[in-house]
Amino acid sequence: MATVLFRPTFDFDRPVWVPALRQGLTGHDVRIAPEETGDPADIDYLVLWRLTAGDRTGWPNLKAVLSLSAGVNQFMGHPEMPDVPLIRMIEPGLEHGMAEYVASMVLRFHRDHDRLRQEQDDKRWTPYIPPLATARTVGFMGMGHMAQACIDVLKPFGFALRGWSRSPRHYDDVECFSGEGSLSRFLAGTDILVCLLPHTPETENILNRQTLAQLPRGACLINAARGRLLVDADLLAALDDGHIARAALDVFHKEPLPSDHSFWIHRNIVITPHIAAISIPDTGALSLKKAIDQLEQGEKPEGLVDLTKGY
Ligand code: NDP
Ligand code: OXD
């Protein structure tokens, strides 16, 4: 039996995560910080969204940190990161949520719902032949767990699918590109770009004036990765000049997005408050249990983060 300390951060953590962890982490001693912390030397695993002061040295027998989020950029280079393995969240609820979010935005842009809503406001009736999904290419930057779930949902519509990753990947019915050298070719054939890369030093600002310009005129962008992958001013310029038609943004440099940010009032931007996908407590707790059990048995959990790559 291991001792697992969960530190709540968000309002929903106590009502939903605490019962899910108590139920899911069977066979382990689950404690809730701060009231049940007890002796810091008892703690084997920390389950949390982010680090706080004292984490680096405060847990003398710590075996691993388990992140409740899939993205772990908030742990990278953090002065309070203890010298133990970091495990990120990989769980089916998160993947399902991302697939729903991305599919809904892809279909919204593909079927031009925002323009049609404007026509309704103007009481305009203009029939036309909407292109089918087979005429549209959806390109994924990042071909990991999140992108795979989205691809599985979009494939039956008939979209042409392509993806770009760091190392070569192979997926049936997906045109795969890898490495920096192929980025412009990947972008040049993408009508709807979905960014699902982790935030690392290599990916920071990757959605910038040059890369956006490599997309075909009229392309759309969905950024559900991290805000710092996007140069905000470059997107605004590309939208204003019509090169990018629309953007759906779930993540931002600063969250909550400041009320004076130009994104809020841009007619061709859809904003969501970092809810594209959130770990689901029931399934997330089972995935934490699996990871902890594997660590206890000396095995490598799937979500073990490669600290040299940063994801
Ligand atoms: P994975 O680690 O499974 O996949 C990451 C993918 O990005 C891999 O294909 C990887 O390439 C690729 N990649 C990484 N660095 C580079 C690079 N420099 N150049 C090209 N490709 C690169 O991550 P997930 O799919 O689970 O999650 C991706 C990100 O999505 C998270 O890091 C997080 O930031 C974000 N996210 C956002 C959520 C939201 O609600 N908005 C929810 C969940 C996640 P390779 O295959 O070669 O390793
Ligand atoms: C995550 C997120 O990375 O919620 O899991 O953004």
| pLDDT value of position 152 | 98
**Main-chain phi, psi angles of 288, to 5 degrees:** -65, -40
The helix (H) or strand (E) run that includes residue 244 is: strand 244-249
| 224 ligand 2 Cβ < 6 A | no
**Residue for token pair 């040059």:** 210
**Which bound ligand lies closest to the C-alpha atom of 273?**
1
The pTM of the full predicted model, rounded to 2 decimals, is: 0.98
| 145 ligand 1 Cβ < 6 A | yes
| 303 ligand 2 Cβ < 6 A | no
50, 56, 266, 274: the active-site residue: 274
Compute, in angstroms, the gap from residue 147 CA to the centroid of ligand 1: 8
| CA–CA dist 268, 117 (Å, integer) | 12
| 278 ligand 2 Cβ < 6 A | yes
| CA–CA dist 69, 138 (Å, integer) | 25
| pLDDT value of position 9 | 96
The two tokens of residue 216 are: 């075909």
Q: Any catalytic annotation for residue 226?
A: yes
Q: Tell me which residue has its CA closest to atom 37 in ligand 1.
A: 225
For the CA of 226, the nearest atom of ligand 2: 6
| 165 ligand 2 Cβ < 6 A | no
Taking all residues of the chain, what is their mean pLDDT, rounded to a whole number? 98
**Which bound ligand lies closest to the C-alpha atom of 249?**
1
**Which bound ligand lies closest to the C-alpha atom of 67?**
2
| pLDDT value of position 252 | 98
Residue 134 CA: distances (Å) to CA of 31, 104, 137, 192, 277: 51, 17, 8, 13, 27
Per-residue exposure over 65-98, b if at least 16 CB sit within 10 Å of its own CB, e if not: bbbbbbbbbebbeeeebbebbbbbbbbebbbebb
Q: Which residue ranges in the chain fall short of pLDDT 50?
A: none
Compute, in angstroms, the gap from residue 195 CA to the centroid of ligand 1: 9
What residues contact residue 98 under an 8 Å CB cut-off, 6+ apart?
Answer: 146, 149, 150, 196, 224, 276, 277
Residue 263 CA: distances (Å) to CA of 206, 253, 256, 269: 19, 12, 12, 7
189 contacts 137 by C-beta, under 8 angstroms: yes
Residue 175 CA: distances (Å) to CA of 147, 183, 225: 13, 13, 21
> Tens of pLDDT along 132-191?
999 999 999 999 999 999 999 999 999 999 999 999 999 999 999 999 999 999 999 999
Q: Is the dihedral of CA 93, 98, 100, 103 positive or negative?
A: negative
| pLDDT value of position 307 | 94
Q: Express as a percent the part of the chain with pLDDT over 70.
A: 100
| pLDDT value of position 3 | 98
| 200 ligand 1 Cβ < 6 A | yes
| pLDDT value of position 248 | 99
Counting Cβ atoms within 10 Å, is residue 258 exposed (0-12), middle (13-18) or buried (19+)? exposed
| pLDDT value of position 37 | 98
| 231 ligand 2 Cβ < 6 A | no
31, 136, 226, 228: the active-site residue: 226
Compute, in angstroms, the gap from residue 185 CA to the centroid of ligand 2: 29
| pLDDT value of position 131 | 97
DSSP state, 227?
A: G
Compute, in angstroms, the gap from residue 3 CA to the centroid of ligand 2: 25
| CA–CA dist 74, 78 (Å, integer) | 7
Q: Any catalytic annotation for residue 274?
A: yes
| CA–CA dist 53, 168 (Å, integer) | 39
**Residue for token pair 């969204």:** 49
